[in-house]
Amino acid sequence: MSFMAVKGSKDLFGNEILLIEKIENIVKKLAKNFYLEEIRTPIFEYTDVFKRAIGVETDIVSKEMFELQDRGGRNLCLRPEGTAGVVRAFCEHKLFQSKNTRYFYQGPMFRAERPQKGRQRQFHQIGIEIFGEKEAQADFDAIAFPIELLQELNIFDFQLKINSVGCPQCRTPYFSHLKQYLEPHKQKLCEQCQNRFEKNILRVLDCKNENCRNLTQNAPVLLDYLCEECNRHFSCLQTLLKSGNIDFQIDPKIVRGLDYYTKTAFEIQLNYLGSQNAICGGGRYDGLVGFFDPKNPTPAVGSAIGLERLLLALEEKKVAAQEKLLDYYIIVDPEIDYSQAIPLLQKIRTMGFSVLLDEGKKNISKQFKEANKKGALNTIVFGKEELENNTLTIKNMQTGEQKKVLFQDFFKEAKNG
């Protein structure tokens, strides 16, 4: 019987892991520059956390969650995204009292979607959430962070699309006008959109079905209904983006698949990723913290970039990560007890070099072959003669140059590089 990874999940190793390490290092550096603290929330939560945050009528909650029951009959769910858990943690630990309320996270998320290129059931997000900042400079940061990450990875051919989905005050009149507009076309909408028409009409606007797209082409847009405050906020964001030299397009169809957004909603797209071209999504969610903790309403904004889509982009650009090299390989004369080489092994490691010790049972030429196979840059021969004279024979495997050095001199030399 052969076992395989579950459909929609993926093993990560080799070049992909090296690229992920590179990405994580950039994320750490950027997090420092943006004054973001790391937060790690559990991979599962009570299902209600997601129902409450994301909205029961969204695709994510209604059909894409991996739900389970624990032995006590409690309903749990693997997190489909990061924001809900961070908001839950923010409220639970009263983090609004902290000095810094800007967070970043990275980790696996789970959605039971139909797998395809760039769409998996287990995927990873790198997200940021900024709490307590109601003005547009925080929206700017939620956009600038993923953009700087892309640019650090030499990805410049992205499109930033922004929109404002307003607040409950501007949405009420808009929804009734949108309903009036779509009512005569209702029967022609796809089955899903007929359902959305009743329960979550905004989502009809970002349906991928071509017929629905045609029907909504000239539909009224929320941008024309924004209240004074939402309008001011949206113009302010545009001014900041222009000032930061970040190109953007206003796209009234960016309504996002999660119900918590207010005011800013945005996506960063990479066209060559095909149908799953949104590499990053985010927006403001001023009502969500208050929804969890009515006594402490707190404005918030954030974004999340998909790691797998980022890897696809790097693959497209043929970016290879720098391979890890083995600095030293210790070859031990089979006639001596190889435990005597252990202090040497430890010492080289404490000096910050990578080193492996051969099994020591094979003849020396076989051990050299092994060193070559492992791509060792240098070998150290540890034999009888070397042991008696307190020396080591070091060979540079690239040039073939070989030298005998005194034990203590080797450490001095290695230290000096």
* Assigned token pair, 259: 């119900």
Which residue from 62, 82, 78 is spatially nearest to 70, judged by alpha carbons? 78
Residue 236's CB is within 10 A of a number of other CB atoms, namely 15
Region of 164-172, 195-203, 287-295, 299-307 interacting with ligand HAM (CB under 6 A): 299-307
Q: Is 106 in the site for ligand HAM (CB under 6 A)?
A: no
- Please state the closest distance from residue 9 (CB atom) to ligand HAM, in A: 11
- Is the Cα dihedral 309, 314, 320, 323 positive or negative? negative
Q: How many residues bind ligand HAM (CB under 6 A)?
A: 26
- Please state the closest distance from residue 164 (CB atom) to ligand HAM, in A: 15
- DSSP string of 8-24? T-----THHHHHHHHHH
Angle subtended at Cα 254 by Cα 279 and Cα 39, rounded to the nearest 5 degrees:
50
By CB under 6 A, the residues from 308 to 327 that bind ligand HAM are 308-309
Which residue from 411, 315, 313, 328 is spatially nearest to 377, judged by alpha carbons? 328
d(CA 17, CA 293): 39
Region of 17-25, 80-88, 193-201, 383-391 interacting with ligand HAM (CB under 6 A): 80-88
Select from 58, 303, 379, 391 the one that contacts ligand HAM (CB under 6 A).
Answer: 303
Cβ closest to ligand HAM, residue 288 vs residue 381: 288
Q: Is 41 in the site for ligand HAM (CB under 6 A)?
A: no
d(CA 145, CA 105): 13
CB 163 within 8 A of CB 255: yes
Region of 110-118, 175-183, 201-209, 388-396 interacting with ligand HAM (CB under 6 A): 110-118
Select from 255, 306, 358, 376 the one that contacts ligand HAM (CB under 6 A).
Answer: 306
Q: How far is CA 42 from CA 45, 94, 131, 149, 303, in A?
A: 7, 17, 20, 25, 19
Select from 85, 281, 299, 360 the one that contacts ligand HAM (CB under 6 A).
Answer: 281
Cβ closest to ligand HAM, residue 120 vs residue 367: 120
Q: Is 164 in the site for ligand HAM (CB under 6 A)?
A: no
Output the residue with the shortest Cβ distance to ligand HAM.
306
Cβ closest to ligand HAM, residue 278 vs residue 330: 278
Q: Is 262 in the site for ligand HAM (CB under 6 A)?
A: no
Angle subtended at Cα 246 by Cα 241 and Cα 247, rounded to the nearest 5 degrees:
105
Binding site for ligand HAM (CB under 6 A): 81-83, 111, 113, 118-120, 123, 125, 127, 129, 257-258, 278-283, 302-304, 306, 308-309
